[in-house]
Amino acid sequence: MHKKRYIAGALCPQCQQRDKVYVYLEGDEKWRACNRCDFNEPFDQTDNRKPEELVTRVNQSRLGEKPLAHEVAVETVKLIDPNKQT
Ligand SMILES: [Zn+2]
C-alpha cells in the first residue's frame, strides 16, 4: 500500500546504514523509515522553511500569531501517528 522511495545517500540516524532510508506516504503525511532497523519518523518537509518563518515572526509579531496555530495543528498530527501504524 505504501509507495516507498529510497533517499539516495541518506544515512539512517538509528543504524547508520546508507541507502536504507526511504520515504513513504501515510495518508497526507510523509514518513521516513529504514528497511534495516525499525527507524520510523515523520519526514518534515517544511524544515527548510522554518528559519524564514521565525524571521518573519520576529519582524511582525502580530502576523506571527496565525502561523502558530498552524504549527500546533501539525504537531497534533505528529503526536498521533507515532503511536504506530501497523
Ligand atoms: Zn536503520
What DSSP string describes 41-76? EE--GGGGGHHHHHHHHHH-TTTTHHHHHHHHHHHH
Q: Which residues make up the environment of ion ligand 1, defined by Cβ < 5 Å? A: 12, 14-15, 34, 36-37, 39
CA of 14 to the centre of ligand 1 (A): 5
- Looking at the DSSP assignment, which residues form a beta bridge with residue 42? 31
> Does the reported pTM lie above 0.75?
no
List, for residues 1-58, the tens digit of each pLDDT value: 558 999 999 999 999 999 999 999 988 889 999 999 999 999 876 654 445 555 555 5
Give dist(CA 35, CA 32) in Å, integer: 10
User: How far away, in angstroms, is 11 Cα from ligand 1 center?
Assistant: 8
β-pairing, 40-42 vs 29-34, is antiparallel
Cβ count within 10 A of residue 2: 12
